[in-house]
Structure 1
Amino acid sequence: MLKQEDLKVFAKELREFIINIIATKQGHLGASLGVVELTIALHYVFNTPEDLLLWDVGHQAYGHKILTGRKDIFHTNRQLGGISGFPKRSESKYDTFGVGHSSTSISAALGMAIASQLKGEDKHHIAVIGDASIASGMAFEGLNHAGVTNANLLVILNDNAIGIDPSVGALKQYLTNVKKGTQKRNNIIEALNFDYSGPIDGHDLNTLISELERLKTVKGPKLLHIITTKGKGLKQAETDQVKYHAPGKFDAKTGNLAIKPNTIQPPKYQDVFGHTIVELAKHNKKIVGITPAMPTGSSLKYMMDEIPDRAFDVGIAEQHAVTLAAGMATQGLIPFCNIYSTFLQRAYDQIIHDVALQNLPVVFCLDRSGLVGEDGATHHGVFDISYLRCIPNLVIFAPRNETELRNIMYTAQTGLKQPIAIRYPRGRGITLNWKQPFSNIEIGKGEQLKQGKQLAILSIGAIAKNVTEAIKEFDVSHYDMRFAKPLDNNLLHTIFKTYFTIVTVEDNAISGGFGSAILEFAATHNYKKTIKPLGIPDAFVEHGSIEELQNLVGLDTESLKKTFKALL
C-alpha cells in the first residue's frame, strides 16, 4: 500500500493516464479528472469492495475503474466488447450498482445500508453524487427517507457547479452561497437529519483523507460537501467544461481538440430541432421550450440564447419537466418538451396521468431515439415506441429526414389538439439543403417511397436510409409509415391486399414496437400474410459504435440486404 505522502504523485500519474487514453480513444473526460483525489482517498480510507461505493452519475468513475483492476483494459472503454463507460455490476465486484442515469445513488446506497443492518453486517456505504444530480427529485426522496433512519450512509456531494451543462436552480444558488460564506451553511442538510460537514477542498488529499477517517466513526446518515473543479489538471478542460465533458479526440499534451476536416455535412438532428424551434417561436408567441439539464445536448441552447424568457432548463428533473409542460399547455401555451428517449422513461407516469389523460397538446421531442452508440445499454432509446404506443390520445411520429422533422414541428404548433411524441436519432441526418419552406403533415398518413412487385417493406423513422440503400437492386416496395400511432389504415389495407410478404423495420424493440402494431392490424382485420418484424431483439444491447451495433442486431445495410434477398 502506498504511503500517504506518495499519493499526490500518484494522483498526477492517474490524471495523465486518463488524459492519454481518452485523447485517442474518446469518452467522458472532465468528470473523471475532477474526482481523481476523491477516488484515491475513498479507496485509501475504505475497505472496498466490502465497503460499498456508488458513483452518481457514472461519468466520473474512470479513475475508480483504473484503480480496481481495469487499468490494462481501460483502452477498451466504451468500445464493442470492451469495458463499459459506466459502473456495471457484471463487470466488477467493485461496481456495486449500475449508474447510467443520475440521482439514483442515495436510494440504492440506503437500500444497501438497510440490508447490511438487517444482516448484522458492519460496513460502510458511500454515495458520490454531483451537485446537478442531487437537485433531482429522486435524490431528495432518498435524502428524505435516509434522514429518519440510523443507516450507516455517507453521501459525498461533489460540488463543481456543472453537470454536463452548468447546474441550475435554487439549490445551486444555495450551495454557491454556502461556498461564499454568505449563507448559514448547515440549514438544508441538517434539517433532513444528516450530519453535515464541509465544504472542503476536494483536491486536497490530506484534508480528504482525514475527514473521511473522521466520518468513519460518525454514526447514522452523514453528508460531506466537497468543492472540485471539473476537468482539473487539463487547462482547456477546466476552462471549457461543457466542451470537454466528452471532447472527442484531442492532443494529450496541449489539450487542443483534433481539427476536423472542413467538409460540408448534413446537420445533426438536434441542431435541426434547435434552429427550427427558434424559427417557429419567433412567429408564434405561444411556443415555449423545456429541457431537463440538456440544453447543449438537445440544442435548446439556441432558443435559450435568443428567446431566454421562453426556454427553460429545469435541471435533472424529467418528471417535473413533463408536468410543467402539462401545466403550461392548460393555459394555452405550446410546450416543446425535449428529452432524450432513454430519460423520458423516468417520467412515464407523468406522460400518462398529467398529459395524455387530460389530452393536453404537449410536443415531446425525443432526441437520441434508437441505438446511440458508445454510451451503451443505459442510453439506447429503443423502448419509446413500445412504451408510448399503448397510451391513448398520444400521436407517435418518426421523421425519416431533417425536412420531415421540421414539418412535424411546424404541424404540431398549428393547432394540434392532442399530445405528440416525435422521435429522432442521435447524430447527423442525410440532407444538405434541409431548411425548406414549412408544410403541414397529415396526422396518421404514411407514404410510398418505392414501387415494386415482390414484397412490401414498411419502415419508420431514419432507419429508412439503410432500407433505401439495401433495396437498390431489388424489385420491392418501400413504405415510410411515419406514424407508429395512429397507423395509416387505408395504406395498410392496400399493402395487405397486394403483397404476400410484409417486412417491418424499426430501430426500436421488436417487443411492443412498430412491427407489433402491424401484426395487431393484420390480426384485427384477419389478414393471413407472412409478416417479418425487424428491430432490436429482446435483450439489452451493449456499447459500441452505432454502425457496429446495427450490424450486431441486423439493421445495417448489408444485413438488411441479406434478409430481404432470403425472403425473395
Structure 2
Amino acid sequence: MDLTKIKNPAFLKQMSIPEMEQLASEIRQFLIQSTSVTGGHIGPNLGVVELTIALHYIFDSPTDKLIWDVGHQSYVHKILTGRATQFNTLRQHGGLDGFPKRKESIHDVFETGHSSTSLSAAAGMAIARDLKKESYHVVPIIGDGALTGGMALEALNHIGDMNKNVIVVLNDNNMSIAPNVGAMHTMLGKLRTSNNFKRAKKDVETMMKRIPQAGDKIAGLAERIKDSVKYLLVQGTFFEELGYTYLGPVNGHDYHDLLQNLQYAKKVKGPTLIHVVTTKGKGYEPAEMDRSGLWHGTGPYKIDTGAFIKPVETAKPWSAVISDGVLRLAERDERVVAITPAMPVGSKLTAFQQRFPDRFFDVGIAEQHAVTLSAGMAASGLKPFLAIYSTFLQRGYDQVVHDVCRQNLPVMIGIDRAGLVGGDGETHQGIFDISFLRSIPNLVLAMPKDETEALQLLETGFMHDGPFALRYPRGHSSGMSELVSEVQPLPIGQWEVLIEPFDCVIITFGATLQMATEASHALLKRGIRAGLVNARFLKPLDEKMLVRILDKQIPIITVEEALLAGGFGSAVLEFAESAGYTSIIQRLGLPDAFIPHGDVQQLLKENGLSAEKISQTAIRLCQQNEKLRKTTI
C-alpha cells in the first residue's frame, strides 16, 4: 500500500485482519526507513503500530478524541491521518512536528510533549462533552512510564470518581525512556504475568460480552462473578478499586485481542481501562532488544547494523561533564547523592548509578516528587544533586519555591538542556528557567563557559549552604579548556572580564560567549573596542562590576539564549534603574513566543542571536552614544 496516498483513517473500516497485518508491516518498514534519515522517536512508535491501527479501526477520529500522552508514539497516528508525505521533514525547521500538533491536523485534538497529561485532558473533554450533551468517545492513550507521574494519578483518581465514560488505553511496554521503576511498575508486572487471573478473567469476560445489553440483572450477576474470580485469584486490582472496568492484559500486537476488547470498551458505561501489553521497538531488532533507552529517540542510523550516525566529536557532552564532576565529588564525600526523574541515560548518570547504587535515585516521571525528595535529603544532612531538564523543571516550580528555597536548603539543581534543544521543539526548549527562577529568594543561579568553569561551579555549589542551580546546554562542550586536578570554588556572584571594555561592553554567559567573542573581534577590526564579560552568575549579579561598567557611561549589550521577558538582561536593566544610571542598555535574546523545532543555529539566527547581530547592535549603540555625548558637552 502506498502510505503517502492515505488522506484519513476511514479506509481502515473496510480492511480485514490479514490486510491490517500487512499494513502494520508496511508502516514499520516506512518508519524504520524514514527515521534512519531524520532521526526521531523510533522505539515508542514501532511498539504501537497494531494498537494505533486498531484504535482508528474501532473509533471515528476526529469525532472520537484520541489523546496521545507525551506524543512520542504519535507517528503511526500521523501516517494514518494523511501526513506520510511529510515524514522526510520530521523534526526539521518548518517540517513535521515530532509531537501531536493541532495546527497540523484536525485529528490531533490535544497537544502533548510532557508526559502524564492525557488523562487530565481526557477528563476535561468528557466533562465538556456531557455538559454540551454531545456523544463521542474520549480515549487517552498513556504509557506505563507516564502513569508514574503524579498528574496522571490525580486524573486517574478524578475520572474514577466522576464515573464518566472515558476509555483509558494503558500502553504497557515495561519501559518509559529508560526501564521503569516504582511500585506502579511492579503492580503492572504482576498483572502482566498473572496467568491464572488472565485465563479465568477471559472466560468470564467472554460470557459477559455475549449477554444482551438489555439483560441488566444477568449482566450485574456476571459482574459480581467476575469480581469474585478476581478476589479469588489475585488480591484485587488497583484500577478496579478506583472505579474502572479493567480489561486485560491485552496482546497489543494481536488484532483479534485488540479489536474485541476495544469494541467491548465502547459498550461499557463509566470509566474503562484497557491494559495493552506491547513491545517497544517491535519489528526492528536493535530497538526491540534495547533495555538502556538509547532507542527511545535517536538521530540518523544505519538500518542494517543499527549503528548511530553521529558527527565526530572530540569533546564530552555537557551532561557527561557535569555528571562526571558530581561523581568526582561523590568519591570524596559520602553525603553526595544523585536524583533523576526517569532520565539516567539522558543526564549521563549511569556511571554514578553503577558506582554508587545506594546513593542513586531514579524516581520515574515525577518531577515534583524529585524536587521535594531532594529537599528532604538536604534537610537531613545529605548533599543532593538533582539532574533535571530545564523544560521538566517547570513542572516542579512550586517545590523549588516552597520546599527548597523557602527553607534555604542546600540542593544542587543541575538544569540540563538549558537553551534551545532543536528537534524536540516548543515543548522542550529550555528557555524559560532564567525568568522563572531568578525571582526566587535564596537561590543562586549560574552557567559555565567551559568544562573547567563547570567543575569550579560544581565545587562552589556543593560548598554553598543553600539552593544552587547550575544551567548547562544540550550538546557537546567546547573541549578547549584544560581540566585541572585541583578545582577551586568561585566567589558567588563574581563575574569574569575576558576583554576589557572601552567603547562598549557585551555581557553574556554560557553558550553565547562564543558568538560574543566573535563579535568583539569583528568590532575591533572596525575600530570599536568592545569589552566582553562572562556573567557566569546570573543571580546574584556582580553589582560591583556593573557599577564600574555603568560609571564608564558606555553602551551595554546583554546576550542570552533564553527569553528576554524577565531574563538576565532584565536583571541588568533593573539594577541600572534602581542605582540611578541612564546608560544605553540593549538586550538580545529570544522573543515572547514559543520557539518551534529546527536546527539550533538557524533558530538563533532567525531570532537575532548571532555574532553579526551583536556587531550591528554595538555599532549602532556606539554611534548613538557618541551623539549623546556631543549634545551634552
Of 88-97 and 275-284, the range deviating more from structure 2: 88-97
Rounded to whole Å, the distance in 2 between the matches of 1:264 and 1:92 is 38
State yes or no: 1:244 paired with 2:292. no
Return closer, same or farther for 1:566/1:50 CA change in 2, 3 Å cut-off. Answer: same
Among residues 297, 307, 313, which one is paired with 2:356 in the alignment? 307
Q: Which amino acid aligns with 1:418?
A: G
- Structure-2 residue corresponding to 1:234: 284
Would you say the 8 A contact 1:265–1:432 is kept in 2? no
Question: Residue 523 of structure 1 corresponds to which residue in structure 2?
Answer: 577
Asked whether the equivalents of residues 231 and 237 of structure 1 are also in contact (C-alpha less than 8 Å), the reply is yes
Corresponding residue for residue 193 of structure 1: 243
User: Sequence identity of aligned pairs in percent?
Assistant: 47
Quote the residue 1:136 is aligned against. Answer: 149
- Closer, same or farther: CA 48–297 of 1 in aligned 2, 3 Å: same
Aligned to 1:547, which of 594, 597, 601?
601
**Does the CA-based 8 Å contact 1:178-1:185 persist in structure 2?**
no
2:126 matched residue in structure 1: 113
Pairwise CA distance, 1:563: 3.1
Whole-angstrom distance in 2 between the partners of 1:185 and 1:380: 44
Which whole-Å deviations, capped at 9, do the CAs of 1:45-70 have from their partners, x for residues lacking one?
A: 10100000111111100011111121
Match of 1:3 in 2: 15
Matched, 1:379 2:391: no
Counterparts of 2:149 and 2:375, CA distance in 1: 19
Which residue type is aligned with residue 533 of structure 2?
Y
What is the 5 A alignment of 1:91-130?
91-130=104-143
How many Å separate the matches in 1 of 2:484 and 2:441? 33
1:58 corresponds, among 64, 71, 76, to 71
Q: SS of 1:496's equivalent?
A: helix
Deviation at 1:209, TM superposition (A): 1.2
2:264 alignment partner in structure 1: 214
Q: Deviations over 1:195-228 (max 9, x none)?
A: 1010011011221112111111111111000111
DSSP 3-state at the match of 1:548 = helix
- Aligned partner of residue 81 in structure 2, secondary structure: helix
Q: 1:513 aligns with which of 560, 564, 567?
A: 567
Alignment of structure 1 residues 413-424 onto 2, 5 Å: 413-414=462-463, 416-424=464-472
3-state SS of 1:59 partner? coil
State the secondary structure of the residue aligned to 2:152.
Answer: helix
SS of match in other structure, 2:264: helix
Distance 1:9 1:186, change over 3 A: farther
Number of the residue aligned with 1:537: 591
CA RMSD of aligned residues (A): 1.4
**Residue pairs, 1:550-561, within 5 angstroms:** 550-561=604-615
For 1:564, the aligned partner's letter is A
More helix by share: 2
SS at match of 2:267: coil
Contact 1:230/1:238, CA 8 A, preserved across alignment: yes
Is the CA contact (8 Å cut-off) linking 2:374 and 2:384 kept in structure 1?
yes
3-state SS of paired residue (2:171): strand
Return the index of the structure with the highest Cα Rg.
Answer: 2
1:401 to 2:450 alignment: yes
Deviation at 1:473, TM superposition (A): 2.5
| Residue 39 (structure 1) aligns with | 52
| Letter of the structure 1 residue corresponding to residue 341 of structure 2 | P
> Aligned equivalents of 1:471 and 1:88: distance in 2?
41
**Among 422, 425, 446, the residue aligned to 2:473:** 425
Cα deviation, 1:224-276, whole Å, max 9, x if unaligned, reads 00111100010111012522112211223x24224546x55111110011111
> Offset of 1:433 from its aligned partner?
5.1
Question: Residue in 2 aligned with 1:497?
Answer: 551
Between 238-247 and 509-518, report the one with greater CA deviation.
238-247
1:435 corresponds to: 483
Other structure's SS at 2:385 match: strand
Amino acid at match of 1:551: K
Partners of 1:259 and 1:109 lie apart in 2 by 39
Residue 202 (structure 1) aligned to one of 235, 239, 252: 252
Equivalent AA in structure 1 for residue 107 of structure 2: Y
Q: Choose which of 329, 337, 359 in structure 2 pairs with 1:280.
A: 329
Displacement of 1:557 in angstroms is 3.0
- Counterpart of 2:258, as a letter, is L
What is the CA–CA distance in structure 2 between the aligned matches of 1:260 and 1:3, rounded to whole Å? 41
Find the aligned partners of 2:28 and 2:612 in 1 and give their Cα distance. 42
Q: Does 1:349 align with 2:349?
A: no
Q: For the residues of structure 1 that align with 2:81 and 2:484, how far apart are their CA atoms?
A: 53
Deviating more after overlay: 491-500 vs 557-566: 557-566
Does the Cα contact within 8 Å between 1:79 and 1:545 map onto a contact in 2? Answer: yes
Q: In the alignment, what sits opposite 1:166?
A: 179
Give me the whole-angstrom Cα distance separating, in 1, the residues matched to 2:566 and 2:150.
Answer: 29
Query: Do the aligned residues in 1 keep the contact of 2:584 with 2:621 (CA within 8 Å)?
Result: no
Distance 1:62 1:99 in 2: 13
- Between the aligned partners of 1:532 and 1:424, the Cα distance in structure 2 is 24
Q: More deviation in 86-95 or 98-107?
A: 86-95
2:357 maps to a residue whose letter is: P
* C-alpha distance in 2 between matches for 1:251 and 1:431: 28
- Matches for 1:439-518 after TM superposition, within 5 Å: 439-474=488-523, 475-518=529-572
Cα displacement (A) at 1:324: 0.4
Give the structure 1 partner of residue 28 of structure 2: 15
Q: Could you say what secondary structure the match of 2:161 adopts? A: coil
Asked if 2 retains the 8 angstrom alpha-carbon contact of 1:247 and 1:257, the reply is no
Deviations 1:463-501 (A, max 9, x none): 112211222122200101111111111000001011421
Greater shift in the superposed pair: 159-168 or 453-462: 453-462
CA distance in 2, matches of 1:59, 1:334: 34
Distance in 2, matches of 1:314 and 1:213, equals: 36
Amino acid at match of 1:173: T
Deviates more, 1:397-406 or 1:367-376: 397-406
> Is the 2:502–2:554 contact (alpha carbons within 8 Å) kept by the matching residues of 1?
no
Structure 2 residue identity aligned to 1:91: E
- TM-score, length-scaled by structure 2: 0.87
The one-character-per-residue Cα deviations of 1:307-345 (angstroms, maximum 9, x if unpaired) are: 110011000000000000000011110101111011000
In structure 1, distance between residues paired with 2:313 and 2:125: 52
Secondary structure (helix, strand or coil) at the match of 1:110 reads helix
8 A contact 2:506–2:557 mirrored in 1: yes
- 1:539 deviates by 0.7
Gaps of 5+ in 2: 1-10, 196-232, 524-528, 623-633
* Amino acid in structure 2 at the alignment position of 1:436: V
Which shows bigger deviation, 167-176 or 460-469? 460-469
Deviation at 1:26, TM superposition (A): 1.0
Of the structure 1 ranges 307-316 and 428-437, higher mean CA displacement relative to structure 2 is found in 428-437
- Partners of 1:471 and 1:193 in 2: CA distance: 65
Aligned partner of 2:61 in structure 1 is 48
Extract structure 1 runs of 4+ deviating beyond 6 A: none
In the alignment, is the contact (CA less than 8 A) between 1:38 and 1:202 conserved in 2?
A: yes
